[in-house]
Amino acid sequence: MPQRYLGAQTAGGSQNVVLASLSSFLLHSLQEGGDQSEEELRGQSQARGTGSSPEERLSTAWWASARRVLTAILLFGLLLGSSVLLFYIFWNCGPRLCETPVCLDLRARYQASGNTSAAPCNDFFSFACGKVKGSSNSFQSLAEENKSQLRRILEAQDPLYPGSGEEKAFQFYSSCMDTHSIEAAGAGPLRQVIEELGGWCISGNWTSLDFNRTLRLLMSQYGHFPFFRAYLGPHPASPHTPVIQIDQPEFDVPLKQKQEQKIYAQIIREYLTYLNRLGTLLGGDPGKVQEHASLSISITSRLFQFLRPLEHRWTQGKLFQMVTIHQLQEMAPAIDWLSCLQATFTPMSLSPSQPLVVHDLEYLKNMSHLVEELLLTHRDFLQSHMILGLVGTLSPALDSKFQEAHRELSQKLRELTEQPPMPARPRWMKCVEETGTFFEPTLAALFVREAFGPSTRSAAMELFTAIQDVLVTRLRRLPWMDEETQKATQQKVSQLQVEMGAPEWALKPEMARQEYSDIQLGPTFLQSVLSCHRSLRARIVRSFLHPPSPHRWKVSPWEVNAYYSTSDHVVVFPAGLFQPPFFHLGYPRAVNFGAAGSIMAHKLLQIIYQLWLPGDCPACDARALHGARLCLEHHYAAFLLPSRTSFNDSFTFLENVADVGGLAVALQAYTKRLLWHSGETTLPSLDLSPQQIFFRSYAQVMCRKPSPKDSHDTHSPPPLRVHGPLSSTPAFARHFHCPRGALLNPSNRCQLW
């Protein structure tokens, strides 16, 4: 158990010392005043001579005594008044208990996640996160709570503006939640889509349409790309200039290069079962379904073999190539590139000389040869392959039979690839996500108005400024950085642009009422989804055609992931991050600095990531920098890791550097704030001082059940993200009274920041 913070008692002890000194001074003054009165009395008697009467002498003595009594009363009153004043001052300087609902809720969160029986000096992760269950983590929990807030907004009373974006967003969410109507429609809406595409020979009539016409419809009207992906992205040489990019396709099956043959065969069997189930749900003949599903899998397998791994393209220096539509048409002639891309990216005006960014040209050449071969030998099977892929794409908008088929496939594939099962998500969460995708401008404005008002935004900016100022100051004291690099880095940090809460457009009230005239909702939910898809794609294209904004946000305002954009030199902190338990206006400052403040500092340190890599800071003290690197690597290597976990790479090292530095910067900013601003509070019943709450809130951000490392996650495992920085911070050991040699109070520490 941590030692209880004795702020009030300490203040009282200091108060007693001061009062004792003041009492001694006053009593001494009182005694000096009494002696002086007697001397004056004798002097007066001598001046009057010996002829004074006894009555006169008695009167003089009485007045002297009265004077002494009055002086004593006056001094006692001053003493009492000073005591009350000093008591008031010291009492208000100590931390008060925060017993508001938000603080009591935060205390309940800490008690629910923490294990106070764990020794904080040896296992602070268990102390803060020991009761965390399942695969949930703090960021996921916060993201889900933000979606709950969006749900409350969408289920609130009807909007005040009929026909507005608010009304359409609410109607879409309501139709998504209307599972009775979706179940009643069954596969009917999907059959209608298939008929519009010419049908297929698995069930019903089939009209053999032109391949490129079908592909053009799939891409432009249904957002389905069976052979490649096409999207708008930043130009490699000019980040603010959009360019059409042609990339490898995304497959439903998790095939991998150099996959074990047994696992590969099992995956193919599961996927075949899934395709057979889709065909049967659409009324197909079982024999034909089996035949067409098998060939569809064969097409997918051959396309997959054409892919070249990213590492291979990197070593060859061919991550992408710039070609025109005309050049691509000559190299991959099976696809009518101009027609398909023009339909997909309307209202852009394309021509054969339009430049494209192609990510894997060799794949596109081989894909084109395969399509030409299939058009000659298996045209009907090629049509079935495209439609089966479309059915999988649209399954979330269909009835429960289709959704259940897709869910069972996903679970079995995760088992085969040794991934943890995906927890079932409630229907409302899926509907909130869909509504947020299609009506982001409206929901962004509503969320910001509800959860990120002007006072919260001002407090978040104030916190950021405090973090930024401390980092600029600390950069002056880095022993391994030369003076010129220090100045350049300080200037870079000072000139950083910050976007807080939401983009400027989302802060305008009229955005919530934005009209979506091109969206036609109903009569079925699938038709509503398709109309929203087309509207969203058109909005994206139009946004790229407008003059470029200073920075185009990569996250929605209700999301929780902050990021730093190198190309725009801007750091983005969405409003969703500044919600309980990471931030609240009514929290103790220790919580806001320990949680949100450490996240801010971590993102700021990403600006100078490259300085830590060998050779990227030629003017720095190479020996000192190398020593700091080795010290941190050895320091982290001393901690035990969960089984099957590996993090020995440069990306994880940089994240560790930012973790250590982020905690140090946030702590210094908090300490500085305490010196200049009184009125800190603490949480009741936790027996934690404000400084201890700071470290507790920092660890709370990292709470997550340890699991095998995700291949896409560059961070260290959660326990190491807690213990590594805390053991590098002397203040932690001091405030938790850790004995020398404890795991989190080592004898030697690395001097990084």
Domains 124-133+452-503+553-735 and 189-199+211-398 share a fold: no
Question: Which strand (E) or helix (H) includes residue 585?
Answer: none
pLDDT of residue 223: 92
User: Which of 435-439, 544-548, 636-640 ranks highest by mean pLDDT?
Assistant: 435-439
Q: Which CATH superfamily is domain 189-199+211-398 in?
A: Neutral endopeptidase , domain2 (1.10.1380.10)
Per-residue pLDDT at 206 exceeds 50: yes
**Taking Cα atoms as reference points, which of 359, 263, 251, 267 lies closest to residue 302?**
251
Identify the residue with better confidence: 6 or 205.
205
Euclidean distance between CA atoms 295 and 39, whole angstroms: 122
Spell 662-694 as b/e; 16+ CB within 10 A means b: bbbbbbbbbeebbeeeeebbbbeebebbbbbbb
Which of the 8 DSSP states describes residue 565?
A: E
Contact call for residues 518 and 535 (beta carbons, < 8 A): yes
Can you give 341-362 as a three-state secondary structure string? HHHHCCCCCCCCCCEEEECCHH
pLDDT of residue 51: 47
Predicted confidence band of residue 706 (pLDDT cuts 50, 70, 90): low
124-133+452-503+553-735 maps to which CATH number? 3.40.390.10
Can you tell me which residue has the tokens 């290597």?
637
Euclidean distance between CA atoms 571 and 656, whole angstroms: 19
pLDDT of residue 428: 97
Reported as a single tens digit per residue, the pLDDT across 514-569 is 778 899 998 999 999 999 999 999 988 988 887 766 788 999 999 999 999 988 89
pTM above 0.85, yes or no: no
pLDDT of residue 427: 95
Describe the strand order of the beta sheet including 355-358 as a list of residue ranges: 229-235, 238-247, 355-358, 321-324
Reported as a single tens digit per residue, the pLDDT across 31-43 is 444 444 444 444 4
Cα 703 to chain centroid, rounded: 14
Percentage with pLDDT > 70 across the chain = 82
Predicted confidence band of residue 30 (pLDDT cuts 50, 70, 90): very low
Predicted confidence band of residue 128 (pLDDT cuts 50, 70, 90): very high
Distances (CA, A) of 289 to 208, 209, 227, 300, 382: 18, 20, 21, 16, 13
Q: Where are the domains of the chain?
A: 7-94, 124-133+452-503+553-735, 189-199+211-398
Contact call for residues 229 and 250 (beta carbons, < 8 A): yes
Reported as a single tens digit per residue, the pLDDT across 219-277 is 999 999 999 999 998 888 887 788 999 999 988 777 776 667 888 889 999 999 999 99
